[in-house]
Amino acid sequence: MSSKILLLEDDHLFGETIVDLLEEEGYEVEHFANGQDALDATFSSKFDIYLLDVNVPLINGTTLLGELRESDDNTPAIFLTSHKDKETLELSFSNGADDYMTKPFDMDELLLRLKAVLKRSQKTTIQDVGKLSHDAFHKRVLYEGNELELSRKEYELLVLLMSHANAPVPKEHILDELWSSSDGGSDGAIRVYINRLKQLLPELSIENIRGVGYKLVC
């Protein structure tokens, strides 16, 4: 499966040059000229890596990445920018950058750095629990090698149970992890998503620990 890249670059000609290069290498690329459109895209699509310019309209690249990291989006990111000052460099890494390249840069070097960051990320993102595999890099769960069609809440709940496999997960912890105080999470909401997981995977053993929470048995 080819990696999917989000490119944030407001210089249209330069952006298209990068898009052409990456697509020739087999990558899938979505190009955005402002930070707001890029941010919106992260809510509707899953990306394997972000390539971000800093000075772009609406939301700049460093602010964008900071917001994504605050929402637990750990997708690797490389900054591509004309900024050479130490302050911008420090801000980029403090906001969660994995690498940083100053313009102008060699396109072959970009490809090498891109592959290196993707390789590092992919090595640490697979969690196997019984017949389930959590691929955090692509934000998906597989059962016996087949990807499950999960809603966001179903995905988050199943991953939480997998991370505590064979141990009870208190309902309070599930509510804290999956719902904010304004989202209206409840015991009933948890039961709904537990039942959906059981319907989706009848082979899955999720026990209700009365008065405590739920346990994924593997």
pLDDT digits (tens, 9 = 90+) for 20-69: 999 999 999 999 999 999 999 998 888 999 999 999 999 999 999 999 99
Which of these three, 103, 123, 143, is where a domain ends? Answer: 123
Q: What is the mean pLDDT of the chain?
A: 89
Longest dimension (CA), the chain: 61
How many domains does one find in the chain?
A: 2
The domain spanning residue 177 has which CATH number? Answer: 1.10.10.10
Residues 65, 92, single domain; the answer is yes
Residue 217 β-bridge partners: 205
- Scored b (16 or more CB within 10 A) or e, 96-129 reads bbbbbbeeeeeeeebeebbeebbeebbeeeeeeb
- The arithmetic mean of pLDDT across residues 179-197, rounded, is 85
Which of these three, 123, 146, 171, is where a domain ends? Answer: 123
